[in-house]
Structure 1
Amino acid sequence: MHHVENFYGLTVLTVPPYTPATLLPDAASVAWRLQSGLYSTDEDADVCWERFTSTVELEKVRALVLGYGMDRVSRLTDLSDRLTGLEAVFLGDIEDEEEMISSIEQSDVAPLLEAFPGLRELVVRGGSGLEFPVAGHAGLRSLRIESGGLPPEAAESIAAADLPALERLELWLGDDWYGGGTTVEQLAPLLAGARKPALRHLGLQNSPIQDELAAAVASAAVVPQLTSLSLAMGTLSDKGAEALLHGQPLTHLKELDLSHHYLSDEMMLRIWTTLEPAGVRVNLRGKREPDEEWEDDEEEDGASGRYIAVAE
């Protein structure tokens, strides 16, 4: 994982420590990143926030990126009366050299969504401690959770939430060992498509039960409304791909992302010849081979020797 360089269509600018306010760019023209160093203290974080709030025109800020050492929710909600133009937030823009994704602590994001009804995009990196007890949000259009282990309760809440404007949803479900374990049943409201009528892109990614997810998607009511679908980063095998090919037609999609997979060459060819002539851009990059050392292990999900892309 690396720091984002662009967010919400804007170049990311780390809040500079000394630049005079008169030399800063227009507050609406960049996405502002707040972060402190690896060995910084709470006082250092306080200084960064003070610098940001005293030199940047908060009313014009459209996008915020919170990195290492930053309080990820409470400081923002405290500023909701000044950040009146805020449309996009990235919580946990932390790269591997700073902290592994499985160790990034998150919290309840409900206060954030409640404090900013005008929020359009939310990205969260890290699943530890993440809660999403949100009944709904009228304005959110894009939601992405990057995690090596998304708490099942959070995934279930997202699936059940009324998000009428949501166009893009991407969930990195992650491994049980790192706090994941979401089941197909917990995603049932999402797959039914009833509570997210504007959804056009769905990513159910980075899962050790990718074959089960593929089988569920093959008959899911949400699929006909999509223009792109991602089952990438997981343990997808020929079994899951077979379910996709024998399920409802996917030829209406503009893009199908199956990258980081365990498909045979024969199955890859079948997918290509079925979907590419219909105009579907199929991503089959990242073919993986099962780890032979673990192939004989008995596992309930049948994915022995296969691994997700992002866990620890």
Structure 2
Amino acid sequence: MSYVQHAQNFHGLPVLTVPPYTPATLLPDAASVAWRLETGPYSTDENPEDYWDRFTGTVELEKVRALVIGHGVDYLPHQAFIDLSSRLTGLEALFLSDIEGDQEMISSIYQPDLAPLLEAFPGLRELVVRGGEGLDFPVTGHAGLRALRIESGGLPPEAAENIAAADLPSLERLELWLGDEDYGGGTTVEQLAPLLAGERKPALRHLGLQNSPIQDEMAAALASAPVVPRLTSLSLSMGTLSDAGAEALLHGQPLTHLHELDLSHHFLSDAMMLRIWTALEPAGVRVNLYGRQEEEDDGWGDADEEHEGSGRYIAVAE
């Protein structure tokens, strides 16, 4: 399973990479696609600044609904987008750094403070951010944002804590790839307390706490978290979930109201997978148990309880 790849569709629109040196008469209607901007060997050898200027001078920016910022163009400062906010009046969705692993490792993709960007685009409905180095999120939040996804091999704990505390009254979908401490992650359950308590995000219906090396602790917290009863789908995918975390879920509050429970990329035993399936599938819950992993030999041996479980690994780190 490939977790980090180019978006083919975004915000309900097909993604179109802005082609090199194409006259405006040959371009589709600006509102009909999600415009992907990328420079490099697989698109155009134009200078990123010239490429950006050509796009902004050719396409009817007032009609653009979705932007996907790819390799090369992602090095332009966010201020370049902010300066055009008076023209990008219809912008509803933004994907920052849609970059695959062969272009740049996810752990090295830099993202700054998102506060100025969110303030400049009050009409934004969907935001996807790939990469976490340097990332911060305004605690004051955003009134209109409905979907937020942060894809990271190591989401800075302060950023995760700020997202958990942010006022996002319209947010329906939240996905956080928490990542490994060695790559800038390390978010604790305690830092997510406002989110788990169901505070400040009354419209939330899908929650993904993914790609975490403490997935068992996350599962134990969610087993009694007040936010869970209002959800229609929950994801603990991409992490190190073991039988201990699954046991906590099964003995916690009911999950039969969910439409979907995604546990893919896990370390569950056959017996535990069967228990989860038997408990939830008859109630109509779609359970994703794809991608069972085998623990790696960490060299400590089974008897060393201090290092127990250290042979498990998350899906996306570097």
Which of the residues 305, 309, 312 maps onto 1:306? Answer: 312
Contact 1:148-1:174 at 8 Å conserved across structures = yes
Partner of 1:201: 206
Shift of residue 134, structure 1, vs aligned partner: 3.5
- Distance in 2, Cα, partners of 1:294 & 1:234: 21
Shift of residue 42, structure 1, vs aligned partner: 11
TM-score by length of 1: 0.96
- Distance in 1, Cα, partners of 2:131 & 2:305: 26
Shift of residue 217, structure 1, vs aligned partner: 0.3
Shift of residue 73, structure 1, vs aligned partner: 1.7
Partner of 1:229: 234
Partner of 2:37: 34
- Distance in 2, Cα, partners of 1:134 & 1:66: 24
Return the letter of the residue paired with 2:82.
T
- Distance in 2, Cα, partners of 1:41 & 1:84: 27
- Structure 2: any 5+ residue segments left out of the alignment? none
Which of the residues 125, 128, 134 maps onto 2:133? Answer: 128
> Do the aligned partners of residues 301 and 50 (structure 1) sit closer, same or farther apart at CA in structure 2, a change above 3 Å counting?
farther
- Distance in 2, Cα, partners of 1:238 & 1:114: 43
- Are 2:110 and 1:105 equivalent residues in the alignment? yes
Shift of residue 293, structure 1, vs aligned partner: 3.9
Partner of 2:278: 273
TM-superposition CA deviations, 1:52-80 (whole Å, max 9, x none) = 11100000000000011222521111110
Shift of residue 36, structure 1, vs aligned partner: 1.2
Contact 1:72-1:91 at 8 Å conserved across structures = no
Range with bigger deviation, 182-191 or 9-18: 9-18
- Distance in 2, Cα, partners of 1:259 & 1:39: 31
Shift of residue 262, structure 1, vs aligned partner: 0.3
Pairing of 1:243-282 with structure 2 (within 5 A): 243-282=248-287
- Are 2:6 and 1:3 equivalent residues in the alignment? yes
- CA-based RMSD: 1.9
SS of the aligned residue for 1:290 comes to coil
Shift of residue 105, structure 1, vs aligned partner: 1.1
> Do the aligned partners of residues 301 and 74 (structure 1) sit closer, same or farther apart at CA in structure 2, a change above 3 Å counting?
farther
Pairing of 1:1-312 with structure 2 (within 5 A): 1-37=4-40, 44-70=47-73, 71=76, 73-294=78-299, 296=301, 302-312=308-318
Range with bigger deviation, 130-139 or 179-188: 130-139
> Do the aligned partners of residues 241 and 139 (structure 1) sit closer, same or farther apart at CA in structure 2, a change above 3 Å counting?
same
Contact 1:38-1:68 at 8 Å conserved across structures = no
> Do the aligned partners of residues 256 and 249 (structure 1) sit closer, same or farther apart at CA in structure 2, a change above 3 Å counting?
same
Shift of residue 249, structure 1, vs aligned partner: 0.3
- Distance in 2, Cα, partners of 1:149 & 1:299: 26
- Distance in 1, Cα, partners of 2:307 & 2:88: 46
Contact 1:251-1:280 at 8 Å conserved across structures = yes
Range with bigger deviation, 131-140 or 234-243: 131-140
Contact 2:30-2:61 at 8 Å conserved across structures = yes
Shift of residue 301, structure 1, vs aligned partner: 7.8
Shift of residue 43, structure 1, vs aligned partner: 7.5
- Distance in 2, Cα, partners of 1:259 & 1:233: 6
SS of the aligned residue for 1:107 comes to coil
Return the letter of the residue paired with 2:257.
H
Shift of residue 292, structure 1, vs aligned partner: 2.3
SS of the aligned residue for 1:112 comes to helix
- Distance in 2, Cα, partners of 1:138 & 1:39: 37
- Distance in 1, Cα, partners of 2:84 & 2:135: 21
Range with bigger deviation, 302-311 or 23-32: 302-311
| Displaced runs of 4 or more, over 2 A | 38-43, 292-303
> Do the aligned partners of residues 39 and 244 (structure 1) sit closer, same or farther apart at CA in structure 2, a change above 3 Å counting?
closer
- Distance in 2, Cα, partners of 1:109 & 1:68: 19
Return the letter of the residue paired with 1:139.
G
Range with bigger deviation, 71-80 or 234-243: 71-80
Contact 2:20-2:43 at 8 Å conserved across structures = no
Identity fraction in percent:
78
